[in-house]
Amino acid sequence: MSIVRDSFYINGEWVKATSGQTLEVTSSGTGELYATIPAGTVEEADQAVEAAAAAFSAWANTSPKERGEFLVRISEKLAERSDEIALTIANEVGMPLMLAKGIQAGLPTMTFADNAKRAAEFTWEEELGNSTLVREPVGIVAAITPWNYPLHQIANKVAGSLAAGCTVVLKPSEVAPINAFILADIIHEIGLPKGVFNMVTGLGPVVGEAIVAHPKTDMVSFTGSTRAGKRVMQIAAEMVKRVSLELGGKSANIILEGADFTKAVGDGVFKCYLNSGQTCSALTRMVVPRARLAEVEDLAVAAASGLQPGDPITGSSLLGPLVSAAQQQRVRDYINKGIHEGARIICGGTTPPEGLEQGFYVQPTIFSDVTNDMSIAQEEIFGPVLSIIPYDTEEEAIAIANDSSYGLAGGVWAATDEKAFEVARKIRTGQVEINGGSFNILAPFGGYKQSGIGRELGQYGFEEFLEVKAVQHN
């Protein structure tokens, strides 16, 4: 039996959709119908914004400590339902259940808890000469989120907004929306004041554009493709709204002479393929010394062979399917494009993995002898496709890493952390991991260039939702 949700969450109530139009959600592992959700209209989006606007003043004037207490309760309820959330997202997105529990369910729980603490401990006022600087919530936030880490991205926006004293209208991805309904159920259960959080599902060009264009939304926080981000920015510019954008990436992973190649290549392949490559910060370009190319190819193929796809619910593989048939076809098209442009395919390809003809699976694929002007080196594929790019000098490796319209993330492997840090300073991206450094949920996440504007997570993500007022006195 598929899941059916027929209402939006507006002004503290579940409100039945009016249009009768629905959207279907498929199970990534089987391609079968998983859920049906309502397709919102402009009128319903406007209703949600009006509710958020009516609730703003009271919520903004609620003490930060009390706001934090609500967030703690949300975090606790998310933890209680983590198994359900992980299973939901494994079905929606295709991340294997064993990874989804820690990442897709675990990160949002931590983000709500962190923002609760942040609200309670933040310095809301400070003295500067004859001024008192006052931090205040930016207002009503239109939050638009993607499908690849759906609840994580929702938490980044909703938790930070609520902690800052903003009210929110959320449009989650229509591709992976059921996790958002679970969050709305939790918010309703804990009794968050009416209108503080609102959710309308639907299509980006309808609901998304409506909440961005509404005169009462003060800020847009968007995560998604660079193309869609440009559209959001154009609409918001008409009313000079604050915009926070977390967009695409094409991150380079530089491996320098002296590094532990076995460890570096294995780690790099996994970080390219995590979530089936459906990660904006995935290390999709492996930049390696030309003299070590054959060795790197052998190591990469060996690593990929240990990451053969499997059913995300019942299997033991760390690699699942892609999110949809459309995404599967997009990735296959890029693999064909790589072959056509002259890259050398050393494993994988466009045929379905053996025994996985149902569902949206793609073989883990590696190209070698890639040049940085090829489409597979410049464009975000969002699938399990790795490009190995050889270099002759360290300076050339850094130039390759920076030769991109994106600037979200990157990696450097070297004989020492000091050397890796030296090179990391020269890479123009919002994050760089050195010698396999792990993701830090408290560190600012966001990009340079066309990877976006602003930051999410931790202190810097929280402060995106604040204005600063200077009050002068004698």
C-alpha–C-alpha distance, residues 199 and 463, integer Å:
23
- Torsions phi, psi of 190, nearest 5? -80, -10
| Structure tokens that stand for 320 in this block | 């699942």
C-alpha dihedral, 296 to 301 to 306 to 309, nearest 10°:
130
Is residue 452 within 8 A of residue 285, CB to CB? The reply is: no
- Per 3-state DSSP, what percentage of the chain is helix, strand, and coil (rounded to 5)? 40, 20, 35
Catalytic residue among 174, 246, 433, 456: 246
Taking every pair of Cα atoms in the chain, the longest distance, rounded to a whole number of angstroms, is 77
Helices 178-190, 64-80: crossing angle, 10 deg rounding: 130
Looking at the DSSP assignment, which residues form a beta bridge with residue 470?
Answer: 133
By the 10 Å C-beta count (0-12 exposed, 13-18 middle, 19+ buried), 219 is classed as buried
Looking at the DSSP assignment, which residues form a beta bridge with residue 411?
Answer: 253, 433
In three-state secondary structure terms, 123 is coil
C-alpha–C-alpha distance, residues 72 and 412, integer Å:
37
- Torsions phi, psi of 214, nearest 5? -60, 130
Catalytic residue among 44, 92, 166, 280: 280
- Is 246 in the active site? yes
Is residue 220 within 8 A of residue 241, CB to CB? The reply is: yes
How is residue 252 annotated by DSSP? E
By the 10 Å C-beta count (0-12 exposed, 13-18 middle, 19+ buried), 432 is classed as buried
Q: Length of the chain, please?
A: 474
C-alpha–C-alpha distance, residues 165 and 135, integer Å:
10
Give every CB contact of residue 333 below 8 A, 6+ residues apart in sequence.
none
| Structure tokens that stand for 340 in this block | 């056509």
Residues classed as catalytic: 246, 280
